[in-house]
């Protein structure tokens, strides 16, 4: 393995860990509701889900749309449109993807 790839993987892993860990211990109660940092933190959940979706869907799109991908995507979009809950949409999408995989 090339050392550059290993260093890059370690850097990305460290920043991913920090991005997930530090908000759990930070005291965000003093943030203004409509402030820039507050809006940034609110947008990271949907942005992370969109990134993971894109990374997981690209291999499927080369061979056509399979049933689990369609079911999971529809469940995520429908649940988020109704409830505006990132957690609920993630759970519904996971369940629908599993159900779609089970059906085929």
Is residue 44 included in any domain, yes or no?
A: no
Is residue 81 included in any domain, yes or no?
A: yes
Number of domains in the chain: 1
Q: Are 46 and 81 in contact (CB under 8 A)?
A: no
The Cα–Cα gap between 26 and 69 comes to: 36
Is residue 45 included in any domain, yes or no?
A: no
Residues in the chain: 104
Domain around 75: 3-26+53-103
> For the segment 14-59, what is each residue's pLDDT rounded down to a tens digit?
988 887 787 778 777 777 778 887 788 777 777 877 787 777 777 7
Is residue 7 included in any domain, yes or no?
A: yes
Is residue 34 included in any domain, yes or no?
A: no
Is residue 95 included in any domain, yes or no?
A: yes
> For the segment 74-96, what is each residue's pLDDT rounded down to a tens digit?
999 999 999 988 889 989 999 99
Is residue 15 included in any domain, yes or no?
A: yes
How far, rounded to the nearest angstrom, does the alpha carbon of residue 11 sit from its chain's CA centroid?
20
Which pLDDT value is given to residue 1? Answer: 67
């Amino acid at each position: 393995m090339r050392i550059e790839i290993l260093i890059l993987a370690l850097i990305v892993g460290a920043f991913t860990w920090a991005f997930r860990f530090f908000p759990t211990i930070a005291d965000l109660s003093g943030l203004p509701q409509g402030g820039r940092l507050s809006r940034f933190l609110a947008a990271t959940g949907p942005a992370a889900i969109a990134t993971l979706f894109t990374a997981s869907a690209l291999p499927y799109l080369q061979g056509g749309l399979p049933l689990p991908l369609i079911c999971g995507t529809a469940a995520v979009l429908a649940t988020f449109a109704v409830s505006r809950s990132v957690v609920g949409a993630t759970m519904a999408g996971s369940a629908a993807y599993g159900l779609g995989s089970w059906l085929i």
